[in-house]
Structure 1
């Protein structure tokens, strides 16, 4: 990845790659889960906490990695799923099929998840026969005939926990890479007279992330899935390919979303919300019937209530806009409350930061804030109060009062003609 960030912590739809893997696993309610990390895996350990981790001090191959889980899995005799933190798209349903195949009446020692990519180059090949899977051959060790096979190994397996570690103890490293391959357990299990099976999944589910291009490809897959799920649930996406959702985006029925809208993590839009184009949301909530955009930005802590209007080039941060209130254009509302049915004019800002601390602005119900107003927090504008356009408000305004600050207007009749007459000779010279 050419990154200081561990690969499995790179975000995909707003969640780390490994978070997707663990989320797919969670509905199966595993009795034990262990995450094997590298020698510099502190960040990964923190990300997966409180799950136990095991450290692979030397990267000696996949079988060696699984061996590091021996202590956590001591005494476990059920099915062991081996998953990969950089293969984030395997759905829960596929994992459930894998477990079911392992626990079938034929009692296979292992079940391998295979797929058929358009181009199998680089993948290990699955060599099958009448009695199931005969062997997994890495491409570097494959014969020309084996390289011609199209069924490939994803690396994902379900194994019999009762014999797993005894098999792993027999794995050697006499191969082109000098590594201990997990795939060797297939031949070892067959040598014990145990059956090994294969189930297949689509290549999209098994996309591995090895670089930034792979990450972008995985993002495209996830976004397509999220968009389809949203539309199936009753959400209108005018231009689906331009809307980017997070893994936890919550969209109610009859939400309508225009083009070029981005959702960061932690966003909930309730039923009937209308979002116009080019908006950005992150860690915020928008209630039923509200209208947002175009070109609006709702930052963390923004809470927009029922039937409120948030218009173009409006930014809301850590603030509540109550029912029916309107903040329609060119405005910043931060660390504030905008009361029900209040109207905030264009160019208004809440001056919430003095360089050291944040302060709160409270705008009462039904208040009217004139255009180009600066509200210097901490300050309260009372219910039904009015602020004259162009004002800088530094003190509380009582309910129903008018407040304004401005210099007196100086009007000079005929001044322009005299000014032009004075300057015209100078221009000719």
Structure 2
């Protein structure tokens, strides 16, 4: 089954206290957007769409620097995640296969987790990535009935009973691309935030007799970056994992804490041949 990536990267990131778009702040000397794109490459996508908004020109330039074949679309108004994903529809014209929604400010999803979601799509129409939260806070909650996911309830709209659930929504979702867009056309903004929620797709799918489930990953994989302290924590997490990997592979690091590593740029080699042949990047919307 072919896979398309839809990477949401439209947010301003007010808590960063910076004029730069949030997804362009760096972890291991690379924009966090690149980390999210790199994670998605494990699925060998046939098409990648980045949804830009705040600082769209800079986000587009960064995305195309990572991969000139990425299609960039614009979310001119911030009307929710469902609205953001729907902006990718023109860029998916003619595509047949699954779409998975990732986030440009969630850089640490593992290849194993994404592979598990892909495998779950063989038996369920909708697959959502969840995690058991140490402090569920204001995350959306996953309402399960055995291995079936009945609904995702946003915190603002949740009852006290629903807020007691500790299985939380990461926002990552996979399903057939055409069906995703058809269901998004039915999403309403009749909720506490007045937004179009991507999470409403689960309830709409279930109402049509489709199946849904959740794949559960470690909470650390779903780390979202919204502030300078979280950016610093993400840098520390990347460096710790990268150093540990080197040590496990026999690299001598007498003082690991003094070694600072950067995200590799090996991905560029894939696109060098296309660039040399004069093939141009694409932009939609």
TM class by smaller structure = 0.7 to 0.9
Deviation at residue 241 of structure 1 after TM alignment: 2.9
Is there any run of 5+ residues in structure 1 with no aligned partner, and where? 251-429
Residue pairs, 1:215-230, within 5 angstroms:
215-230=231-246
- Residue 198 of structure 1 is matched in structure 2 by 214
| Aligned counterparts, 1:92-103, within 5 A | 92-102=111-121
Larger Rg: 1
Q: Give yes or no for contact 2:80–2:195 (8 Å, CA) kept in 1.
A: yes
1:44 aligns with one of 59, 69, 80: 59
Q: Distance in 1 between matches of 2:166 and 2:104?
A: 24
- For 2:237 and 2:135, the matched residues in 1 are separated by 18
TM superposition shift of 1:232: 1.1
- Whether 1:34 aligns to 2:49 is yes
- Give the match for residue 86 of structure 1: 105
Superposed displacement of residue 39, structure 1 = 4.9
Aligned to 2:12: none
* TM-score normalised according to structure 2 size: 0.84
Q: Which structure features the higher share of strand residues?
A: 1
Whether 1:23 aligns to 2:38 is yes
Q: How many angstroms apart in 2 are the aligned matches of 1:171 and 1:130?
A: 26
Q: Is the 8 A contact 1:37 1:54 kept in 2?
A: yes
> CA separation of 1:216/1:205 partners in 2, compared to 1, >3 Å: closer, same or farther?
same
Deviations 1:145-190 (A, max 9, x none): 1111110000011112231111000000111110000000000000
Partner SS for 1:164 = helix
How far is the alpha carbon of 1:239 from its aligned partner? Answer: 2.8
Distance in 2 of aligned mates of 1:131 and 1:193: 15
Candidates 159, 162, 176, aligned match of 2:192 = 176
Deviations 1:261-301 (A, max 9, x none): xxxxxxxxxxxxxxxxxxxxxxxxxxxxxxxxxxxxxxxxx
Structure scoring higher RCO (CA < 8 A, sep ≥ 6) equals 2
SS of 1:66's equivalent in the other structure is helix
Aligned length: 247
- Write the distance in 1 (CA, Å) between the matches of 2:17 and 2:102: 23
TM-score (normalizing by structure 1): 0.56
Shift of 1:109: 2.2
Task: Name the stretch that deviates more: 41-50 or 233-242.
Answer: 233-242
Match among 225, 232, 241 for residue 257 of structure 2:
241
Consecutive unaligned residues in structure 2, runs of 5 or more: 1-15, 267-285
Please report the RMSD computed on the Cα atoms of aligned residues, expressed in angstroms. Answer: 1.5
State the partner residue of 1:400.
Answer: none
